[in-house]
Amino acid sequence: MIRCSKCILPKTVPNITFNEMGVCNYCREYENQKTIQIDFESRIDRFNAILKKTRDERVRDGGKYDVLVPLSGGRDSSYVAWKLSQDFKVLCVNYENPFSSDQAKWNITNLVKKLNLDLYTFQYPNQRHEKSFSSNLRAWMKKPKLATTGLLCLACKPMYLEFYRIARKNDIRLIVDGSNLNEVATFKMEAQGGAGAKKLLSAKTIFNLGKEVLGNLSYIRPCNFLPGINTFLSLNGQTPYLRWRYPEIQKMGYFYNHPYHEQEINQILKSFGWEKATDNKSPWRFDCEIDSLKNYLFQKIVGATEKDDLFSKNIRAGLMTREEAIDRLEEGEVNIEIVERVLKKVGLKKVDLDSIESKYRKGKSRVGA
């Protein structure tokens, strides 16, 4: 497979081009903007000042917690819970995702026990998540589109509404999650917002997604109405609605304000027994098993996974070398047993996915025509 000579993005990724040196357009764009450096030093100072102010207010008002940390049992959220618990009163909140891996569940139980943290859990009633996922997967299989793969996760997107509600109930004014700058795949953003898109949520992405949904009316089902509305209101925890409804609560991404040092994170997590799933080669995003299914679908239709994109961004940012990324390509390999396990929960089999590649190509050729 032909890959960029600087990062590891393959030539199958939509909108990719190479120059005479084999360098992709994403690496060239990064080099052109390299002078715009992220000032992590000032971001860390601001982050710490906000945390200290929040703690001072909690002490003044006699509250119990300084910060709410959404906890999935994955690597980043577990690290954030550990890090903040060293100096602040943390309430961990877990959405009991019906597709969570067993290892993620074990990590949550182990972490709150070892760190002596309080844990609040919630789930959606009436199999809301399972019904929405099952419906949207079947709709997607009829007309496979890269732009609509995100709808497979529609039912869990509104969880920030719950995080904010729980924060207010416990007089918590700060939510810190494990999100980071490099985790959203560029090929997903561009599929929704067009070439060069930098945001998952914008007027253009909403318009384009609406157009795709109207082009496949199988998405319009009662099981998607409430998740759809709530996702619009709360996606990523930083929407106009949340700022209006909860003006006293601030949400921050830890790794938007701190550089991501993977080896240090892994060493710290290992110190209190955190582990990745044994049936998944990647320590990243194994907490929800739907991720394995999505990467399987990405491989089928674009010949790349989110790991290819993440590693490529890390190479550009100087967080790893290309050689290290090549050595770790196996982390993008999908365990078919996990895929089959997810499909079984909604009454499907892997053979039901056999035609998606030809349907995807056919759909692209119609658009091109």
Which residues 6+ apart lie within 8 Å of 262 measured at CB? 319, 320
Domain segments of the chain: what residues? 43-284
Minimum mean pLDDT range among 58-72, 156-170, 333-347, 354-368: 354-368
Tokens 């100072």, residue? 45
Strands of 160-298 (E only): list them. 174-180, 250-255
Give pTM, 2 decimals. Answer: 0.93
Which pLDDT band, with edges at 50, 70 and 90, does 369 fall under? very low
pLDDT tens by residue, 247-266: 999 999 999 999 999 999 99
223 has pLDDT over 60: yes
Mean pLDDT for 57-71 is 97
Question: Nearest CA to 155 among 92, 235, 218?
Answer: 235
CATH of domain 43-284: 3.40.50.620
CA distance 198 to 179: 16
pLDDT tens by residue, 171-217: 999 999 999 888 888 888 887 777 665 666 667 777 888 888 999 99
